[in-house]
A and B are shown apart, each in its own frame.
Chain A
Amino acid sequence: MNRLTVAWRNVTRNRRRSLITGGIVAFGFVSFALAGGFMAQSFDGLRQSAIRSGLGHVQFADARAFEKSESSTLEFGIRRAGAALAVLRTDRDAEVAMPRLEFYGLVSTGGTSIPFGGTGVDPQAEARGSDIPKTVQDGQWLQADARVVVIGRGLAKLLNARVGDDLTLLVTTPDGTLNAVDATVGGIADILIRELSERYLALPLPLAQELLAAPDTVSRFSLILHDGANESAAAVRLGSALRQAGFDLGARLWRDLAVFYQQVRVLYIGIFGFMGTVLVVIVFLSTFNATLMSVTERTREIGTLRALGARSRRIATGFVLEGALLGLASAIGGALLSLLITLIVNLAEIHMPPPPGMAKGIVIHVQVIPVVYLLAALAMIVTLAMASFLPARRAARAPIVESLAHV
């Protein structure tokens, strides 16, 4: 006879009550596990979205470019970009290396002139490593050597421009002179953020370099890594390889650059934390009544145990053990139920409206996160143990003769 055995026998003493209490706890567990699994899936989706929005897994640029804006065109530009790109593209973890040349200028249809934020890109690399080319609904994405541009739908509207229209791009070159090139609207991209859409203009890198009179120069490199690659290790290794090749560049991981992702993450964690707290309180209040009844029914038994010489603490810990055991059993039941519901939900392919920052709706997919299961089990066990402890401690400290006289 050990204390665990006795505790379990007491748990199964009133089966109906234990089942109801256990059901509440299992429900709490399922809520935790499913919410956690859905949140993890959302984080994963947002992460992919952030990385594929053009950030890449790792970016390399002049270290100052990560700290402040350029005060003049290509102030922090990277010269001999082709050589640097070759270093990046030969790394074992690099899937796609995307050179970018960022600048500002005026775009004109002849009648209207609008400021724009331009990005010179490698069209093929972007098509592989970024989701922006996929947002081009009118026309098509850039071609490597063509004198075409892709503009945001907002900018197109401001310019009243359509696919096939001719534009003039006017910029200030790094040496301070004005330069201009003519290009054709090859496609219109649906950029979700309005401010960005009204300024977005992408053009092939050679055309951008010609416009800025900055051959073989870029602003930064954005790198997509193979699945499973260690981002931090790759950043360090590539930084070192670039230094050996004569490039003293800073590196930033996507999570340091994805402000929106971080904000949403904090928001989700806050919501999940609040929901979790409410859930624990609900489970606590729901189970407290059951444990209080159980303790009250056993008042005379408690008096007997104390008469036999059991200390109050031993009696209270016995009830806590019962609560913890019921919590554990319920958590196991909750885990099995969660797995079943997860399987059903994932197979059902339930569609949801687009979340903030995404163009398309998503299919609900719940992940099974062992850490969430573990935390949920811990939360439920501790909650039930606490719900048992409070009435048990009070009963175990009551005068023995009163307990023995309890009917």
Chain B
Amino acid sequence: MNATPLLSGRGLTKEYPMGAERVHALCGVDIDVYPGDFLALRGPSGSGKTTLINLLGLLDVPDSGTVRLDGRDTATLSENERADTRRDRFGFVFQSFNLIPVLTAAENVAYPMLLKPEPPHDLQARAVELLAAVGLAGKEHVRPDLLSGGQRQRVAIARALANHPAVIFADEPTASLDSRTADTILDLMKQLNKERGVAFVLSTHDPRVVERAARVIALHDGAIEMGAA
């Protein structure tokens, strides 16, 4: 494993209000993500997996602790700079796919490219190429509601790859899929990780994800239980 982490979290804590009480979602977690990593965050519901992904993916800010990207403390970034960082360096895959229903498959994939100040000229061709790479050639003009769950997740993966991210965060990517489709999706992620060198950070209950992971971090009650390579 490369010694220099791409992303590192130190002493990450996060609390959420729950009625009159406060729930400790994360309690001082230290974590590193390396270039080309395939890291699984394992743990039961409420263990803090999603919270950790949200903090590392700059979707949320920690109550204390730091998240560094390429050695830079992300706490210094403005809201717009955080958005730009997510656009340029990260990709996201969600449990419920979260595709934009009014856009076709190709338009969903192209959307993150459009967010750039200067969208690429070959945006459409690149969207088609990415869809082909995830096995959806010929589905470019199909709206998400006409695709199966597995196909939607493939579109979501292609969308996550749109701006050549360094890391793709996948929160329970197989939870809404049947067993066979889940295997296919995980194989695809593994393949893209290998071929494109993009790091994957996945939160999961699914043992199949853990089997394929290069590293596994187990979380319990907001703290790291153990680390495995």
CB contacts (< 8 Å) of B88 on chain A: these are 309
Asked if B94 and A404 make an inter-chain contact with CB atoms under 8 angstroms apart, the answer reads: yes
**Which secondary structure dominates where chain A touches chain B?**
helix
Cross-interface CB contact of A1 among B79, B110, B112, cutoff 8 Å: B110
Asked if A10 and B79 make an inter-chain contact with CB atoms under 8 angstroms apart, the answer reads: no
Asked if B59 and A308 make an inter-chain contact with CB atoms under 8 angstroms apart, the answer reads: no
Asked if A309 and B112 make an inter-chain contact with CB atoms under 8 angstroms apart, the answer reads: yes
Asked if B102 and A308 make an inter-chain contact with CB atoms under 8 angstroms apart, the answer reads: no
Q: Report Cα–Cα, A123/B63, bound state, in Å.
A: 95
Asked if B87 and A309 make an inter-chain contact with CB atoms under 8 angstroms apart, the answer reads: yes
Q: How far is the CB of A397 from chain B (nearest CB, A)?
A: 9
CB contacts (< 8 Å) of A401 on chain B: these are 54, 59-60
Is the interface on chain A under 10, 10 to 19, 20 to 34, or 35 or more residues?
20 to 34
Asked if B59 and A400 make an inter-chain contact with CB atoms under 8 angstroms apart, the answer reads: yes
CB contacts (< 8 Å) of B57 on chain A: these are 307
Is the interface on chain B under 10, 10 to 19, 20 to 34, or 35 or more residues?
20 to 34
**Which secondary structure dominates where chain B touches chain A?**
helix
Asked if A1 and B103 make an inter-chain contact with CB atoms under 8 angstroms apart, the answer reads: yes
With A307-B59, A401-B60 given, is the CB distance from A10 to B115 under 8 Å? Answer: no
Interface residues of A in 1-59 (CB under 8 A from B): 1, 6, 9-10, 13
CB contacts (< 8 Å) of B54 on chain A: these are 400-401
Q: How far is the CB of B225 from chain A (nearest CB, A)?
A: 23
Which residue of B is nearest A399, CB measured? B60
- Name which of A164-172, A298-306, A346-354 contacts chain B: A298-306
Asked if B84 and A309 make an inter-chain contact with CB atoms under 8 angstroms apart, the answer reads: yes
Q: Report Cα–Cα, A399/B14, bound state, in Å.
A: 14
Cross-interface CB contact of B101 among A1, A13, A312, A314, cutoff 8 Å: A13
With A9-B102, A306-B83 given, is the CB distance from A404 to B115 under 8 Å? Answer: no
A157 within 8 A of B: no
Asked if B83 and A309 make an inter-chain contact with CB atoms under 8 angstroms apart, the answer reads: yes
A237 within 8 A of B: no
Chain B, residues 115-134, CB within 8 Å of chain A (1/0): the string is 10000000000000000000
Q: How far is the CB of A15 from chain B (nearest CB, A)?
A: 13
With A307-B57, A307-B59 given, is the CB distance from A314 to B94 under 8 Å? Answer: no
Asked if A400 and B60 make an inter-chain contact with CB atoms under 8 angstroms apart, the answer reads: yes
Q: Which 3 A-B pairs have the closest CB atoms?
A: A309-B87, A9-B102, A304-B98
